[in-house]
Structure 1
Amino acid sequence: MSQVLGVRPPGRALIGQVKLPGSKSITNRALLLAGLARGSSRLTGALKSDDTRYMAQALRAMGVTVDEPDATTFEVTGRGGLLAPTGPLFLGNAGTATRFLTAAAALTEGEVVIDGDSHMRRRPIGPLLQALDALGVKAEAPTGCPPVRILGRGGLEGGRVEVDAGLSSQYVSALLMLAACAREPVEVALTGADIGARGYVELTLAAMERFGATAEATGPGAWRVQPTGYRPCDLAIEPDASAATYMWAAERLTGGRIDVGLPSQDFTQPDASAYALIAAFPHMPAMIDGSQMQDAVPTLVVLAAFNATPVRFTGLANLRVKECDRLSALSIELQSLRAGLAREEGDALVVLGAPDLPPPTGLIRLRTYKDHRMAMSLALFGLRLENVAIEDPGCVAKTFPGYWDTLASLGVELDILQA
């Protein structure tokens, strides 16, 4: 039976300094680009977690040398391309690795099969495969989700491709990173105005530039990428902004002060925009568009449960195809704390807000759905409410293996209730 972790209210302000893990988004982009370069790159401050280990293991299987001299460093030596692996690549539930490597597999000579766990097998990848097909890359996934089979032809010619990024900006990022390795320029364009978390595309373009690629915007939803390939570089990776949101929320919930090592305005990741909303607690705005800071939404929802007034979260369609259906899961778990505390309205979530939310009369086990962000955000309830426990706490290893140790270092008492 899986472990259950009790979180006790500290009864005081949480004050201290914490070391956040490196950005997952930047680490996985940098690993791939370093792997596509010819030569050696050193990535410091990197995240070592399930998601980045899957990426590193896959690159090793495709002919890239990836060394790990310490707990936060990757040394990557690429050959200027990728080899077809000798067997399927298993990537767990790592969405970034799966989408990015599906595109990059076009550079191999031969068949590449990319698969994941039961959760990844429910996460759509069809729009990316349609775009690859338009570029002459044969890729198929009978269910529209992994497993994916790609037949690499040793490269990519060039041209123009349109992609529907309404479900995920990762489709766009995957194509942009591949495009720099083409033989001719590639133009990547959105089929419509909708794009999940556009800021992550900017993150991709910034990483590509650091590794020597040239890409320019040709319109509000189009980019032209030159066939430069990539060159190695040394990169210091900033802390993870999504992880920072839990610490910023813990500050507000306890009246504390937690130094995460980087001012909020210095983060380049989209989720850092959540800081202003967190800082407004307990007077958060009545309407919050979560479409451009999707991984911060669970944190904001927990804060909204204690807000002085109701909060309506919109733009949440993409949350239904994350590690779990986060929109539905958040609604269910909040209602388990108090009936009517939250409700779904299409792809929106309304949280009524209860500054004096009473603690459960008996132990309540909040489910995490094997989703790291559900576990880390729901644990914040335990900073104010007695009798809160988190199921399957180990799922945080996906992006923040030291999360529970970090809370404990601030003085939060944690109890293993069941093993």
Structure 2
Amino acid sequence: MDFVEIKKIGSLSADIVAPPSKAHTLRALFISALAEGKSTLRNALNAEDQQIAAKALNDLGAKIVFNGKDYLVQGAEGQLSSPKEIIYTANSGVTTRFLIPIAGIAKGNTIIDGSERMRERPIKELLESASKIGLKTESKEGKLPVKVIGKTLIGGKTEIDASESSQFLSALLIAGPLTENGMSVSVKGEMRSKPYVDITLDCMADFGVKTDREGYESFFVKSGQSYKGRDYLIEGDYSSSSYLFAAAAITGGIVKVRNLNKNSAQGDKEFIYFLEKMGCNVNFSGDSIVVEGNSLNAIDVDMSSCPDVVPTLAVVAAFAEGKTRISNISHLSAKESNRIETTAENLRRCGIKAIPGKDFLEIIGGKPHGAVIEPYNDHRIAMAFSIMGLQTGEMRINNPNCVGKSFPDFFSVLKKFYGD
């Protein structure tokens, strides 16, 4: 599809099952691929990033298949071998970054490359941090493509600046138990997206590896531990659910989303409380959350821990009275697109004043109208502005297939909103 047209919806009342968690599925794939024995990742997300990760891990020696609902994984027990072919990671930041330390444990040398955008995204800090504990790599200016020299990551003490991405830290920690000396990592600077590190540590623990930590300042993974294969149920995804809740917020409708863990480590669950602060009615019942739209007011919010829902909140803010300020989001510039700039650009196309900064985005609420939206191959931009179209109508989303990166069924779910 070159584009889709989003029509204005009449009334909205929907009951939807949350898609599986992107973050949990990816981490479970990497960890189970390194584990002893077999694992079944139940209710797994099988979107583009997961498919890219599974292929890469298969190339390194794991055996992963998707049976239509679950991933079946035969772990490589840490015995990895580099493939003859280049591992292509497209625009998957998690896959690219998690692979680098793991390739440093494998036998042989591994070349990792990605899309044009992935070649622009940062990995230099990860390469430099890992080099302090043995990893040898070859790259130009610390960017893809990168050649990782096998059997060079021995572990030990290092430090990392996680202000660009917490994925750097997660990548080191996952590889930690397979190194000769374990992994002791001190964090310098302000870590962004902290909840994703919590998800990493939870997944590691669920597969049998313990991490000692002091807050978000230092982490230690002892060597000699091993991941154990297991049955693992993937919880629902708050990031993908944010679009469904935003639909209720801007249309004045009611949306119920099931299969959400109220005690989840996912940072994007904060989106619910942002909507409540803006005026929506929010109710919890078991594993379900119900959001009912209402008159919306602007808020001032720090979103350093939940960057993936910034475009979604910005779209809701377009309908709110007053000026919404979203701060501490400089790390959004290195996502699938520069999300601060692309969100602001598309808001302006819809008649909304938006002021982007290096670390913030301000939105002056008003009466948005439909427009031609250019998502720049960013799934979260495409989905956020599709939701805006439910209220404005006459919204055209270019390159809608990009939603396949995290929510392949997104437009099918949208059809359910119309009763189709």
Q: TM-score, normalised by structure 1?
A: 0.92
1:264 and 1:275 in contact (8 A); partners too: no
1:218 and 1:224 in contact (8 A); partners too: no
d(CA) in 2 for partners of 1:3, 1:259: 31
Equivalent of residue 174 in structure 2, options 163, 173, 177: 177
1:368 and 1:391 in contact (8 A); partners too: yes
Equivalent of residue 307 in structure 2, options 286, 291, 294: 294
Task: Confirm or deny that 1:249 pairs with 2:256.
Answer: no
User: Please, which moves more after superposition, 399-408 or 246-255?
Assistant: 246-255
d(CA) in 2 for partners of 1:219, 1:316: 21
User: Deviation of residue 324 (structure 1)?
Assistant: 0.5
d(CA) in 1 for partners of 2:195, 2:299: 23
d(CA) in 1 for partners of 2:83, 2:369: 52
Structure 1: gaps (5+ residues): 414-419
In structure 2, what residue type is equivalent to 1:125? I
Identity of aligned residues (%): 32
Task: Confirm or deny that 1:327 pairs with 2:340.
Answer: yes
2:298 and 2:317 in contact (8 A); partners too: no
Q: Corresponding residue for 1:359? A: 369
Q: TM-score, normalised by structure 2?
A: 0.92
1:105 and 1:112 in contact (8 A); partners too: yes
In structure 1, what residue type is equivalent to 2:359? D
Task: Confirm or deny that 1:400 pairs with 2:407.
Answer: yes
Partner SS for 2:147: strand
1:278 and 1:284 in contact (8 A); partners too: no
Task: Confirm or deny that 1:391 pairs with 2:401.
Answer: no
Name the CA shift for 1:35/1:263 in 2 (closer, same or farther; >3 Å): closer
User: Deviation of residue 255 (structure 1)?
Assistant: 2.2
d(CA) in 2 for partners of 1:375, 1:329: 10
In structure 1, what residue type is equivalent to 2:257? V
Q: Corresponding residue for 1:374? A: 381
CA RMSD of aligned residues (A): 1.6
Q: Deviations over 1:4-39 (max 9, x none)?
A: 111011121x21222332111111100010010121
Partner SS for 2:392: coil
Q: Corresponding residue for 2:135? A: 137
Equivalent of residue 118 in structure 1, options 113, 116, 119: 116
2:325 and 2:363 in contact (8 A); partners too: yes
Q: Deviations over 1:125-173 (max 9, x none)?
A: 00000011001010232132211110011x6433111011110000000
Instruction: Map 1:18-167 to 2 at 5 A.
Output: 18-69=16-67, 71-81=68-78, 82-153=80-151, 156-167=153-164
User: Please, which moves more after superposition, 127-136 or 382-391?
Assistant: 382-391
Higher relative contact order structure (alpha carbons within 8 Å, sequence separation ≥ 6):
1
Partner SS for 2:143: coil
Name the CA shift for 1:6/1:219 in 2 (closer, same or farther; >3 Å): closer
Name the CA shift for 1:6/1:142 in 2 (closer, same or farther; >3 Å): same
Name the CA shift for 1:368/1:65 in 2 (closer, same or farther; >3 Å): same
Q: Corresponding residue for 2:290? A: none
1:7 and 1:412 in contact (8 A); partners too: no
User: Deviation of residue 412 (structure 1)?
Assistant: 6.9
Q: Deviations over 1:351-375 (max 9, x none)?
A: 0111xx0535xxx211110100000
User: Deviation of residue 79 (structure 1)?
Assistant: 2.3
User: Please, which moves more after superposition, 96-105 or 176-185?
Assistant: 176-185
Structure 2: gaps (5+ residues): 279-294
